[in-house]
Amino acid sequence: MTDASLYQSLRGHLATLRLAAAAEALPGVLEAATAEGLGHTAMLERLLGIEVAATEARRHASLERFASLPASWRLSDFDFDAQPAVDRSLINELGTLRFLEDATNVLFIGPPGVGKTMLAVSLARAAVEGGYRAYYTTAADLAARCHRAAIEGRWAATMRFFAGPKLLVIDEVGYLPMPAEGAAALFQVISQRYLRGSVILTTNLGIASWGRIFDDPTVAAAMLDRLLHRSVVFNIDGDSYRMRAHQARATQLRKGVMAPSSR
């Protein structure tokens, strides 16, 4: 075979194997091999390295899309000094993602604005960056989705969907009253993940008031059993970060108004 037909054949192999990035990089890598005097091993390593990098980037982008995180928060963005109720070292330990390996659950309990969603989303982002499948939903969306699934005969598939990710974030449990059917869906999702996959749950309701989410207090108790059996619980009772920002702005304004005019 001539060099030209060998080259065409090699491109054909790469296309058949769906190694698109390697196929595209082939001319450049061959040129570099000549220019830099690369041996066969070094050249193949470079070519396949390009394909591996492209595969990893695709996988990461797909995990990222799947996770549906509502914001791009990271743990490093969280201001621990502003929220002393949050144990920094415990959050950093969770940031190592070891908790995912034994399906430990994490509960963030506290009033609005204290950073519950931010912490849950930041941990989910860390999980995605660590190559895990994570998925974010609010409790209301989960209930609505299960409701539709029941009507459309897709209940089992939807339950499998919520069982799948290594980490499931369920945000805002208790913000809206849940219809009994929604509470039942939540119960089933949590039951089937029990000891298999981590749940990070945020709620404004103290554990003692969980009975209120459900018509049936025994369901609430059973769900809490499963959630808390292997879990880390944060009770965040500090000031609202949002309010803090408003207060700081108000203070600034007031200072501005009351400062003696320099003009």
Q: Which residue is nearest to Mg ion (CB)?
A: 117
Binding site for Mg ion (CB under 5 A): 117
Give the x/- contact pattern for ligand ADP in 119-158, rule: CB under 6 A: ----------------------------------------
| Cβ at position 209, least distance to ligand ADP in Å | 17
Among 98, 242, 249, 254, binds ligand ADP (CB under 6 A): 242
Q: In whole angstroms, how close is the CB of 77 to ligand ADP at the nearest point?
A: 6
Q: Which is nearer to ligand ADP, 112 or 131 (CB)?
A: 112
CA angle at 194 for the pair 107 and 159, rounded to the nearest 5°:
100
C-beta closer to ligand ADP: residue 73 or 187: 73
d(CA 165, CA 125): 13
Q: Is the dihedral of CA 117, 119, 123, 125 positive or negative?
A: positive
Could you say which residues in the range 172-211 bind ligand ADP, by CB under 6 A?
A: 202
Query: x/- binding map, residues 99-118, to ligand ADP, per CB under 6 A?
Result: -----------x-xxxxxxx
Touching ligand ADP, residues 19-78 (CB under 6 A): 73, 78
**Least Å from the CB of residue 248 to ligand ADP:** 12
Residue number with CB closer to ligand ADP (114 or 190): 114
Which one of Mg ion, ligand ADP, none interacts with residue 78, CB within 5 to 8 A by kind?
Answer: ligand ADP
Binding region for ligand ADP (CB under 6 A): 73, 78-79, 82-83, 110, 112-118, 202, 241-242
